[in-house]
Amino acid sequence: MKPILVFDWNGTLLDDAHMLLQTTNAILDRFGRTTIDMDTFRNHCDVPLSILYRSLGMSESEIADVDRDAGAMFHDTYEQFASKADLREGARRILEMARERDASSIIVSNHVVEPLQSQLRRLGINDYINEVIAFESRAAQFKSTSKGERLRRYMQENDLKPQATFIIGDMPVETNIARDLGLISVSITGGFVSDSRLQAAEPDYIIRSHHELLPILQGHGFFRDA
């Protein structure tokens, strides 16, 4: 049996926490609100991002302005910053290793398919990814099937075994999905939320970089020749 590696994208494979902080601060500044530091961001970040904005004191009318035109204010700002983001430490090597051993690497994201795939091409890892499961468009973001439900359907359609499936993410939502679907959960620090929030979700494993993922896989009987 080959392992299935299910990766979140933003903050997990892509090292874009600072880019999302910059985007958040650009939006706060636009409405004359006080900008925040990384610790505050990680203590409040949640999805959909309207939860973050609300917790930072933005009004419902301001949030509606951000959401207008399929979230153009956010997406146009974020994509400009994210075009300079690199992969998280060790991410490229674990993806290469999975490909060499014919294991599946899947991205399940709350981002939008087209810009995500554009980033994969820019970073030269498009061929390492077997499937991208994300929202079809800006307009559909957080308005259609949830991330966990999309993964559930994909696993059923492709007869993927939960006991060989690892979900790696930087937010509690991935741990919750793992618990719901019977997967092995791995939380990576240094993403969009604080270490304490990750720990409170009680994932099976917590890592600081993707280099630490290999021993976990080996402990479950995979990649022992690496």
Tens-digit pLDDT profile for residues 173-183: 999 999 999 99
Chain-wide mean pLDDT for the chain?
A: 96
∠ CA 184-116-96 to the nearest 5 degrees? 55
Confidence label for 143 from pLDDT (cuts 50, 70 and 90): confident
User: If you count them, how many residues does the chain have?
Assistant: 226
CA distance 20 to 15: 10
Q: How high is the pLDDT of residue 125?
A: 98
Question: Tell me, what's the pLDDT at 115?
Answer: 96
14 DSSP β-pair partners:
10, 87
3-state secondary structure 119-152: HHHHHCCHHHCCEEEEECCCCCCCCCCCHHHHHH
Q: What are the residues whose beta carbons fall under 8 Å from the beta carbon of 117, sequence distance 6 or more?
A: 126, 132
List the structure tokens of 9.
């994208």
Phi-psi category of residue 159: left, alpha or beta, with phi > 0 → left and psi -120 to 50 → alpha: left
Q: How confident is the model at residue 140 (pLDDT cuts 50, 70, 90)?
A: confident
Compute the average pLDDT of residues 180-200. 98
Classify the C-alpha dihedral 13-15-16-21 as positive or negative. positive
The pTM for the full model equals: 0.95
The residues, ordered by sequence, that sit 6+ positions from 72 with a Cβ below 8 Å of its Cβ are 138
In angstroms, the CA 151 to CA 134 distance is 10
**What is the pLDDT averaged over residues 94-107?**
97
Strand order across the 184-188 sheet:
131-135, 104-112, 4-7, 165-169, 184-188, 205-207
**Mean pLDDT to the nearest integer, 80-98:** 97
Q: With helix as H, strand as E and coil as C, how does 5-56 read?
A: EEECCECCCECCHHHHHHHHHHHHHHCCCCCCCHHHHHHHCCCCHHHHHHHC
- 24-42 pLDDT, tens digit per residue, is 999 999 999 999 999 999 9
| SS3 of the chain: helix, strand, coil, percent, to 5 | 50, 15, 35
- Residue 196's pLDDT band, with cuts at 50, 70 and 90, is very high
- Mark residue 187 as left, alpha or beta (left: phi above 0; alpha: psi -120 to 50; beta: remaining): beta
Integer Cα distance of 63 and 1 in angstroms: 46
